[in-house]
Amino acid sequence: MQVPQVPVESITGMIISLILCIGVPVLLCIFVRKRLSGNWLGLLVGALTFMVAAMMLEQMLHSIVLRVAGEAITGNIWLYALYGAAAAAVFEECGRYFAMQRVLLKRNQLDRSGALMYGIGHGGIEAILVTGFAYVNNIITTVLINNGGIQANLEALDETNRQAALQSLSALGEADSLVFYFGGVERVLALALQISLSVLMYAAVRRGMRQYFPVCMAIHFGVNFVTVVLAQYLPVAAAELVLLVMVAVVVWFAYRLYGQEEKEIGR
């Protein structure tokens, strides 16, 4: 059995999404650094916090919970969305609060531009690790498939592993090309959300608006929960449109809060 060729449209979508995952955070970082004097510490702390909170601690929880509960969670989309969204909200927002309170504020590096740099670091490394690396792997695999180089590797496998590999590789060629474009779009929206949440958490830590800590938790949970559930029931374009609307509301709210402090500083 031959692995189906991956269409040019899908390859283009992978490349565009990869560029978005890397290029958008880099351009935002340069802009905030040059125009708003954003500090590098905020960027670094944001990236490290995501890796520790989401990629290490949260994944440790998943390995334990899913080993114990397993099918009871993964077999029910509502329970799976509830658990996944709650875990992401708790680990990432507690990590964001701790990093801003105990690291940036303590070193007097938590100002408005520092909050933006934190959000870029947090959301930027998420885009690179979650989607960027996956698309690099997809592009390399696609080249091997379309050049016929993957066939020799498949023939070296036993029948069981060969069938599993064929199923996985065939998905690249059979998937709707739009899926690969929306991967990058979703990461850009997630980056905008992470920056907005960082502005809200900055208000909680630096400006004493403690109510914004639970607000960040609720927003993070709500967006993740709705995204997971809608992906199960709606076409990818419709699900991404709903995500766009939700993120736009959060961005607007954070922008108003950001501008409000600017007016207070100018008095």
Residue type, 149: G
pLDDT at 158: 75
Predicted TM-score (pTM) of this structure: 0.94
| Run of H or E residues at 67 | helix 58-68
pLDDT confidence of 4, banded at 50, 70, 90? Answer: confident
Q: Give the per-residue pLDDT at 137.
A: 94
Distance from CA of residue 90 to its chain's centroid?
A: 15
Whether the pLDDT of residue 267 is over 60: the answer is: no
pLDDT of 165 above 90? no
Better pLDDT: 155 or 266: 155
The percentage of residues in the chain with a pLDDT greater than 70, rounded to a whole number, is: 97
- Residue 185 is predicted with a pLDDT of 96
Q: What is the CA radius of gyration of the chain?
A: 21
Q: How confident is the model at residue 149 (pLDDT cuts 50, 70, 90)?
A: confident
Q: What is the pLDDT of residue 1?
A: 59
Q: Which amino acid is at 260?
A: Q
Q: Hey, how many other C-beta atoms are within 10 angstroms of the C-beta on 188?
A: 19
Residues 203-215: what's their mean pLDDT? Answer: 94
User: Helices 40-50 & 77-98, crossing angle to 10 degrees?
Assistant: 140
Residues 6 or more apart from 185 whose CB is under 8 A from it? 17, 20, 240
Q: How far separated are the first and last CA of the chain, in Å rounded? A: 72
Q: What is the average pLDDT score of the chain?
A: 92
Q: What is the predicted pLDDT for the residue at 75?
A: 93
**What secondary structure, in 3-state letters, does 228-244 show?**
HHHHHHCCHHHHHHHHH
For the chain, domain boundaries: 8-260
Residues near 248 by Cβ (< 8 Å), separated by ≥ 6?
none
Residues in contact with 98: Cβ distance below 8 Å, sequence separation at least 6, in sequence order: 49
| Spacing of C-alpha 37 from chain mean position | 25
Mean pLDDT of 46-65: 97
Predicted pLDDT at 263: 59
